[in-house]
Amino acid sequence: MNYPESQLILEEIKKANKILLNCHRSPDPDSIGSTLAMRKVLIGLGKTVKVICPSPELYENVNYLEGFGEIQKSVDFTKFDFSEYDLFLTLDSASLSQVVGLKDYNPKNIKIIVIDHHLTNDKYGEINLIDDKVTSVGELLYLIFKDWSVEIDKNTADCLMAGIVGDTGAFRYPGADKKTFKIIGELMEIGADKDRAIHELYRSEPFELIKFYGEVLSRVQIDKEYGFVWSAIPYEVYEKLGKPSLAKESAASLFAQVVKDTDFGFIALEQEKGKLSISFRSRSGLDTSKIAKELGGGGHVYASGGKIEGLPFEEATQRVLATCRKYANKKD
């Protein structure tokens, strides 16, 4: 048994008939892949399953995964009828605000079970299975499914593979260890296409995203005193470039943790007027989740994110910079 909570979760699933799953706001490959893997397994257990997401757009590069077209987008959680469901499983979501896309909203009269790998998780469920030592919820679910002794077919394996490839940066980030590669090997034996996951996630960028990268690089700055790089994009520029999905996260993974003599970096993007979203990436092991937590978010040491709402672009950017300097290692 990998996790003692596995059996408790399975017991709740067996008691439920209709189960709700989430993709978190601005869902990434791990959010989508792990949720669709769970959907497939739950359907195999005879359950009626619905997947909902607060965001109007999904990450289209993983649209080859089974069930992608069944995800209901643009869900207003304040109007959603939870009474139709017996159980709500939230995956890859460190807080309720990440689940529903709203601050200070708590779904009432439904049992919530949390399955996540973020150290900063708020543990907002009645059962919380949190393992911050795994690379992704894709990896975590593989271990849970083993605990449940359920069959993992090719389609489920492809979903898990997409989640792991996405959250490891195609195995570039620290944390992908021999256990991760053992799971990858076992998923490939089942039939999961590792090469397709890497191709779709990292070699199929829309032209608008490449143009966005150019804008990020044209605005990049370095704070030599505190050892970090950063770039911030206002809404008007983002809108002009066609609002490519996952632009901020992709740019952060490419540019924010590669500059010599820095500890970390961030990309800030005003996705709507007065709403600045930030993606942090660590280069040296400096814990960016502490910075993200203070900015209303969370995550991991090497990858985290935050959000500032209600401030003009320049003022919000200055708040991010001040918070970074609070936690950074000042250079001599």
- CA gap 315, 118 in Å, rounded: 29
| 192-217 confidence digits (pLDDT tens) | 999 999 999 999 999 999 999 999 99
Residue with tokens 């195999």: 44
- Residues of the chain above pLDDT 90, percent: 91
Q: What is the pLDDT of residue 330?
A: 87
CA angle (135 as vertex; 58, 170 as ends), nearest 5: 65
pLDDT on residue 108 = 82
Q: Among 297, 276, 284, 295, which residue's Cα sits nearest to residue 328? A: 284
Average pLDDT score, the chain? 96
Q: What is the DSSP string of 287-304?
A: -HHHHHHHTT-EE-SSEE
Domains within the chain, CATH numbers bracketed: 5-202 (3.90.1640.10), 207-327 (3.10.310.30)
Look up residue 267 and give its two tokens.
């990309």
Distance, CA of 277 to chain centre: 14
The Cβ-side half-sphere exposure at 16, using a 13 Å CA radius, reads 27
Residue 37 amino acid letter: A
Up-side HSE of residue 106: CA atoms within 13 Å toward CB? Answer: 8
In angstroms, the CA 142 to CA 133 distance is: 14
CA pseudo-torsion sign 269, 273, 276, 277:
negative
Q: What's the pLDDT band for 173 if we cut at 50, 70, 90?
A: confident
What percentage of residues in the chain have a pLDDT greater than 70?
Answer: 100
Average pLDDT over residues 169-181: 93
273: closest CA among 318, 309, 317, 230?
309
- What is the arithmetic mean of pLDDT over 90-109? 91
- Residue partners of 290: CB distance under 8 A and separation at least 6: 327
Q: What residues are paired with 198 via a beta bridge?
A: none
